[in-house]
Amino acid sequence: MFLDLGIQLDSDEPMEIERIALQCTEQSLKKIIEICEFYHNNPKPQDDETDDAKAVYQQKIEAYLRQVHEDVKDYNWVMILDTDYLEIKFLFDILCCHVAETMRGKTTEELREMYDIENDFSQEDLEYIENSGKFSDI
């Protein structure tokens, strides 16, 4: 990858680096960095470690993620877009799974209220949708 970019890792000469404009908010970027540092400082247990060590690790991660979801609930969608833009797949998956969990079991009306989505279907559209799923008697 570095060779494709023309970067010589063993060179002592300073490189000119092109600035990249990030499309992330400062708040979101700080939180993304904090989460990445947490995962870097708390590596996953090796396969040969005890089940107790794995359970302790899992509890620590779950507690941390509960706190993260509470902290970012007001800008979770921004975090999802930013992690996608930065290609941080593990964090993108975690955030998307959290959204899926909050949506699970909710009705259409509850989701509209939760995400402030206007119902733009006409009464005729709603009747058509309701009737299109019914089986006809033959």
**Nearest CA among 66, 65, 80 for reference residue 28:** 80
CB 111 within 8 A of CB 103: yes
Domain that includes residue 81, residue range: 28-40+50-116
Q: What is d(CA 73, CA 26) in angstroms, rounded to the nearest whole number?
A: 16
Of 15-19, 64-68, 70-74, the least confident: 15-19
Looking at the domain assignment, is residue 16 inside a domain?
A: no
Which residue in this structure is represented by tokens 């959204």? 99
Looking at the domain assignment, is residue 99 inside a domain?
A: yes
Tokens representing residue 46 in the block: 């090796």
Looking at the domain assignment, is residue 61 inside a domain?
A: yes
What pTM does this model have?
A: 0.69
Contacts of 93 (CB under 8 A, 6+ apart): none
Q: 13-50: per-residue pLDDT in tens?
A: 777 777 767 778 889 999 999 999 999 999 888 888 88
Looking at the domain assignment, is residue 121 inside a domain?
A: no
Q: 91-129: per-residue pLDDT in tens?
A: 999 999 999 999 999 998 899 998 888 988 899 988 888
- Number of structural domains (the chain) is 1
